[in-house]
Amino acid sequence: MKDDLVLDALISPASKEKMNKVVASTSGNFGQLVRIAGLDPATDLLHSDLRNVDLTDTDLTGYDFTGCDLRGARGIRVKWSPETVVLTDALIEGSLFAHRMAIFTALANPEIRLLHRRISGLSWQDQVVWAIRNVRRGVPDLERNRLLAASLFERTTDSFLKGELLKYLEKSTSEGDEQIYNMMLDIINGHSNDLHLISKTIKILNESQAFGRARLKSAVEALLSSSDNRIVALAIRFLVSVGTKEEIRELSEFALSKRAAPLRYAFIGTLVGRLGAGYDMIARNPTNKDLRDINRGLPAEELLVLIRNIRRAYLNEQAGIRDGTLRDEPKISKEFGAAIEGNFIIEKLDQMFARLAEFGMPRIKIPQGT
């Protein structure tokens, strides 16, 4: 495996300087940056360190990535195929290239290609039966069968068959399964506007924590560039649910600046849900219980209704505890009980609004004279 010192030795100083500018830039897609830097993608990228590069909206036709380190490369709407991009000796583990290259390599084997042709010629019902029997843990040649099923998934236009194949591929995985991770990257790239598939993909990634938070974050982050706001909202919810405070703050600049209110609400709703029931309560309009938009403050009359609602919820929980009818954890009592009993609920709310601001939410001020 090549390390950075070897890669450095293979790149000319002039090309290295241009590449550093490209990788460090935050504007434009990768293809545009390559052109701006005056690089020829057919000759100037060889043996480059392109780990974790975002290739969104780049047409890679004619690119030569010979010897490149492309581990973690990701994106959506990336146009490429094994026939149009050179990946000789490239490191592509955990990248959007890995899945399709694995299928391409497998189908280069005449025996596997013949088996693939036979299975793909079956009716969709028989393809499902084949998947049930052959794409599950413990069967012989599982890795080969999963590649065959993945190829069938890519080539069919039948949404039901796609769903069934993906279901059995998911069931056949083990914790931290690189093959399914690479397939999810490929789906994110090639189906970034398919709400059903992307929902399923995020679910699979979310349930596979062995991949590591950083990798999951980078995989889903590309979907923030989707043209479908429903998918952008899915990505926002996922990233808030797994992100650190610093990462959520960074995401807030993107999500809360959007004109589409559902994207702002996706951020706010997921954040307060993560912080607890008390935060969910203070983030909502106390009258209609809808999430309160960040562009509105908290008028004194709404604050008074909020305090009344908190006190009522607290008293209801306490009554449920006393008579044994409360089945859930007393979340409101846990969050607000001491403040209510100690008569410092205004101070408690102010602390909670301050904590929300730590995650990038606008700071809500308690109205004067409350």
Cβ-count burial of 255 within 10 angstroms (0-12 exposed, 13-18 middle, 19+ buried)?
buried
Q: Count structural domains, the chain.
A: 2
The CA distances from residue 221 to 234, 290, 314, in Å, are: 10, 27, 39
Q: Which residues contact 130 (CB under 8 A, 6 or more apart)?
A: 119, 122
| DSSP reduced 3-state for 326 | coil
Nearest-angstrom CA–CA distance, 150 and 180: 9
Evaluate whether residue 108 is within a structural domain: no
Residue-by-residue pLDDT tens, the chain, 370 positions: 344 544 454 456 666 666 666 666 555 688 888 888 889 999 999 999 999 999 999 999 999 999 999 999 999 999 999 999 999 999 999 999 999 999 999 999 999 999 999 999 999 999 999 999 999 999 999 999 999 999 999 889 888 898 899 989 988 887 778 888 899 999 999 999 899 889 988 888 887 666 677 788 888 999 999 999 999 999 999 999 989 999 999 999 999 998 889 999 999 999 999 999 999 999 999 989 999 887 667 888 899 999 999 999 999 999 999 998 988 889 999 999 999 999 999 999 999 999 999 999 999 888 776 6
User: How many beta carbons lie within 10 A of that of residue 321, not counting itself?
Assistant: 12
Domain stop point among 45, 68, 96: 96
Tell me how far apart the terminal alpha carbons of the chain are, to the nearest angstrom: 65
Domain stop point among 38, 71, 96: 96
Nearest-angstrom CA–CA distance, 299 and 3: 59
Q: What single letter denotes the amino acid at residue 33? A: L
User: How many beta carbons lie within 10 A of that of residue 26, not counting itself?
Assistant: 5
Domain that holds residue 82: 1-96
Domain stop point among 96, 111, 138: 96
What's the pLDDT score for residue 6? 42
Evaluate whether residue 148 is within a structural domain: no
The CA distances from residue 168 to 139, 165, 219, 273, 339, in Å, are: 13, 5, 22, 32, 51
Evaluate whether residue 90 is within a structural domain: yes
Evaluate whether residue 112 is within a structural domain: no
What's the pLDDT score for residue 366? 85
